[in-house]
Amino acid sequence: MASKEFTRGATQILFRHLPEAIFEHDDYGLCKVTQVALREVEVNKDALFDAVADALAMWPPAFATKYPDPRDPAQRGHYTVGAPREVRFTPYPQVFRCRTCSRAGQFTQLIKRGASATGRCVCGGRLNQLRYVQAHNCGRMEEIFVPPQACAHHPNDLAFYDPGRVKQARWYCATCRADLQALRMTPCKCAYNQSLPPGRQPEKFLRVVPTADPSLYVPHPVAFINFPEDAQGRLRAAPDALQLMLARTWGTMTDKVHDVIQERANRVKPEDADTMAQMVEALRKVDPTNKLVQDYDAKKKQPKGQVEVDRVNQLLAAAKALVEPPRRWLVEHTTLLDRTDLSTPADVAAMLRRAGDEAGAADIEQGQRNAEELLGIANIRVINDFPLALCAYGYTRTTRDPQRTVINPFPMDDRGQLLIYALANETEALWFQLDPLRVFRWLLDNGLASGTPPSTREEAWARLYADVPGLRQAAHEPMHGQTEAVAVRTLLHTLSHLFLRRIEWSGFAPSSVGEYLIPASLSFILYANRYAETKIGGLTTLFEQRLNTWLWDAVQSGHECVYDPLCSDDGGSCAGCTHREHNCVSFNRELSRATVYGGPTPQHSAFEGQTLPRGYWHDAWKAAPEA
């Protein structure tokens, strides 16, 4: 519709004003978004489509049939990616009710019965939109059913009683006060009901939903690390790329992979042979023992990074691991290490000492020691320029659970292409990486892995890479549901939620902080969900000033749930402890406090309700009261 201009932030549009959403306009009342125009946005398309494909894999195939496979490069031409620029909308629903006499009906019918086009009833009262619609799990939404007339004696006096509760609302005659019918639910013969697995009760009818109910429209955004696309290509295509990136991720190589690859490439350039070689040969005649000559000979014999490449190959061979092309998680982890501005506890301690704050420096150093020795966290870093992108690829109605609803793409543009709305910016983040040695021993202690415990971190990394391939696989791949992989993912995901539970120390609300999981590198990232040019600095301040306090607070509060002991006995995961209302990347699945503190695991999971004798924070929980 031709509408008065209104302003919303880009993030707000992504979560509340995408096509098929209902919102309240200051001038027009309830409206439905019909279209959102796009502008160009710089995002890594390969990473975006990988992230969307991983997200869609959480839906049963029958519930995601409207999407061409984003994993197939030939199908990506069916999509258009851009940032939201302009929102177009129309008033919706078109069912109105008089505030004075309660007469109700379609707006066009009310006009025929004598109401004015300016929104006045025949009685002079003001007409307001009826705040109910019908919705179904398949994504269908309609206005509520309006009876064709009131009673036989007063056919034009249809009225609506609205006490604010769907079950008590009803249609009646405004003159004789006779009840006509309750709100009728329209049947839905959709693909959702026809594709339910055996034993599942079909949702045969659209259900009446208040327009303000958040379940009426659930957009589905997915985050991804927006590293440069050209850098990704060079990393993956370089010789020995997998070994170099694994060495960097496992901590056996401190040099940046990008620099090492560049130097290894320059080593074979013609100009090197023509220029440098001639200079060295000239110097060799004069001084054959010169250090420059010896360094050049060593470099030619063994290029930079070769020691690390050989060591990784040795570890992979000993663990009997399959060598495969580098995956997105490995490129992401490597790029974060190489190309972002990172701060460690040691960096902050040095800064505080320069400022004369010896107590603050000692406190963050103590926090780092506690994290390593008791919490099993090998590294905690601040990412000052986390290159985050967020894209919305579709929506659901009535629920966000992939097992109970169909994922719908946004309406196509005039070229028949599916739309993906994306935003990209740099934000602040906290990056946690668990100790692989502790993780492997935790698996052994709980009977989730077999064999002798590894003796070093690099051996533990190689064993995890070889023995738990499900950690690096997407949801559609066969080993993703491997019990050991589910256990490690559940541990990472639960720790992420426990830290988010006490994120108020940063000044951010939990709903304002997102999470990003990189299971194959035992990492999770908590980031400020802001897409503005400025950074508040709350996560950085938390890291610099309250890290030790926050760590222990998470250990202690994470052990508790308002629904204990029922929650602990039933798997240790519910709305009172680990579940998040917003921003959960896995829809609150693969969560259990049993992985952290020990105890029974959820029945309906890969653990099948088994009891874990030892939690990952077993020692930390015992030490917490003394600390």
Residue 220 forms beta bridges with which residues?
A: 394
CA atoms within 13 A on the CB side of 29: 13
Whose tokens are 């195939």? That residue is 61
Does residue 338 belong to any structural domain of this protein?
Answer: no
Q: Are residues 206 and 280 in the same domain?
A: no
CA 104 to chain centre: 43
Does residue 236 share a domain with residue 173?
no
Whole-prediction pTM: 0.86
Q: Any idea what DSSP says for residue 568?
A: H
Domain end among 261, 290, 318? 318
Domain assignment present for 494? no
396: which 2 tokens? 């659901």
Q: How many CB atoms lie within 10 A of CB 2?
A: 4
Does 240 share its domain with 267?
yes
Q: Are residues 267 and 164 in the same domain?
A: no
Residue 11, CA distances (Å) to 270, 342, 391, 573, 605 in order: 50, 26, 10, 29, 34
Is residue 407 assigned to a domain? no
Task: Report the number of distinct structural domains present in the chain.
Answer: 2
Residues 118 and 203 both lie in one domain: yes
* Domain finish residue from 318, 342, 361: 318
CA distance 159 to 127: 12
- My answer on whether 159 and 233 are in the same domain is no
> 3-class SS at 430?
strand
The chain-wide mean pLDDT, for the chain, equals 88
415 close to 518: Cβ distance less than 8 angstroms: no
Domain membership of residue 160 (yes or no) is yes
pLDDT of residue 502 exceeding 80? yes
Give the start-end residues of each E strand in 40-156: 79-91, 95-98, 104-106, 127-129, 132-135, 141-143
Show the domain range for 188: 94-210
Given 149, 177, 210, the domain boundary residue is 210
State pLDDT tens for residues 412-447: 988 999 999 999 988 999 999 999 999 999 999 999
What's the confidence (pLDDT) of residue 291? Answer: 81
Q: What is the mean pLDDT of residues 321-329?
A: 88
Residues 126 and 193 in one domain: yes
Identify the three-state secondary structure at position 320.
coil
Instruction: Give percent above pLDDT 70 in the chain.
Output: 94
Could you tell me which residues come within 8 angstroms of residue 347 by beta carbon, excluding any fewer than 6 positions away?
A: none
Q: How far, in Å, CA of 154 to CA of 173, rounded? A: 7
CA torsion angle for 241, 242, 248, 249 (degrees, to 10)?
150
Give residue 606's pLDDT: 84
pLDDT of residue 6: 53
Of the pLDDT bands very low, low, confident and very high (cuts 50, 70, 90), residue 4 is: very low
Q: Is the pLDDT of residue 536 over 90?
A: no
User: From start to end of 211-356, where are the E strands?
Assistant: 218-225, 342-343
Q: Label residue 2 by pLDDT band (50, 70, 90).
A: very low
Cα 238 to Cα 230, 241, 247, 325, 439, distances in angstroms: 12, 5, 15, 11, 31
| DSSP result, 546-567 | HHHHHHHHHHHHHT--TTTTHH
CA atoms within 13 A on the CB side of 56: 24
Give, for 33, the enclosing helix (H) or strand (E).
strand 29-39
Least confident of 242-246, 288-292, 300-304, 450-454: 300-304
Q: Residues 103, 201: one domain? A: yes
Which range has highest mean pLDDT (171-175, 246-250, 307-311, 532-536)?
246-250
